[in-house]
Amino acid sequence: MKRYLIILFFAIAISISVSGCASKSAAGSGDGQSSEEITDVNGGNTPVSDSHQETPSTQIPQENYQADKESEDIMAITVKVGESSFSARLFDNQAASSFSAMLPVEISMSELNGNEKYCYLGKSLPTSASRPSRIEVGDIMLFGSDCLVLFYESFSTSYSYTPIGHIDNPSGLSEALGGGSVTVSFSQE
């Protein structure tokens, strides 16, 4: 009986860990991984993963998100998609500061859920995740510690993010990003 319980415990643990590593959807590539790249300022490429898997959190208060979002901006940046350019502001937090140290950067971002583009950065940034309850068009967030997310639709959410910045006037952002993968460049103004 004891042996049966141990085997059952390990089976459940493995099941949970496998489901947490699942690929984003059936619309993704056949093996759940694709090879995207980030181009840094020196033209070097860093491979990145393509499986953005959201996990809800109920332990992170919404107040932290509001405090980070309402804090003083640290830097004006430009977000460029094809021929469209958008002015954005990074927030005054450690994640945004670490992200700004990576600029300028050109990133291939994948589509997810018809409301966001995302890319794994290949390195972890400091986090201060919180549950915003609502995402606004133009929000630039960090999911986990290494997944940069650019939202092009507003919606309610129960997931946790670290706010990095926000596009000042996101008018036309959805059209510029389109429906599939896209290359987005982030640079200091």
Shortest CA distance to 117 belongs to which of 19, 187, 50, 40?
A: 50
Alpha-carbon distance of 92 to 101, in angstroms, equals 13
**pTM for the whole structure:** 0.67
Domains of the chain: 2-188 (2.40.100.20)
Contacts of 36 (CB under 8 A, 6+ apart): 47, 48, 49, 50, 108, 110, 119, 181
Per-10-residue mean pLDDT for the chain, 189 residues long? 53 40 32 41 40 39 44 81 97 96 97 97 96 96 98 96 97 95 95
List, for residues 38-70, the tens digit of each pLDDT value. 544 334 443 333 344 443 333 334 444 444 444
